[in-house]
Amino acid sequence: MIVTRRRLEDGDFEAWKVRFEQGSAARKQAGCRGVRRFVGVEDRHELMIIFDWDSYENAWKFINEKVDSNPKLSERMSVPKLSNIAMEEIAPLES
C-alpha cells in the first residue's frame, strides 16, 4: 500500500480530480489494484489517498517515473503539500 497525503490549493479540487481520474488506466497498467480517496472533514483542502499496489517495487517505480517526467510534479513532492508513505496491511480486527 502507498498512503499519500496531499494538500490542495484553493480552487484546485476539481482540476486535481479530473487529472487523477484520467491517470487510472496508467496506474492499473503499472500494477495499482485499487484506490481509496478521502477528503478532510474540517479542512477540505486535505486529501488522503490509499493505493493498493501489486508490489512495493511497482509502486515506487510508477511514482518515480511520474516525478522524473513532470518537473511540476517534482516541485509538488515536498511536505506538507504532498508526502508518500509505504505501508503493509496487517490482519484486521473485529470491532
In what side-by-side order are the strands of the sheet with 32-39?
32-39, 46-53, 2-7, 82-86
Nearest to 66 by CA among 76, 74, 54: 74
pLDDT tens per residue, range 24-83: 999 999 999 999 999 888 888 888 999 999 999 999 898 888 767 766 655 555 545 567
* Architecture field, domain 2-86: 2-Layer Sandwich (3.30)
Q: What is the pTM of this model?
A: 0.76
How do the domains of the chain map onto residue ranges? 2-86
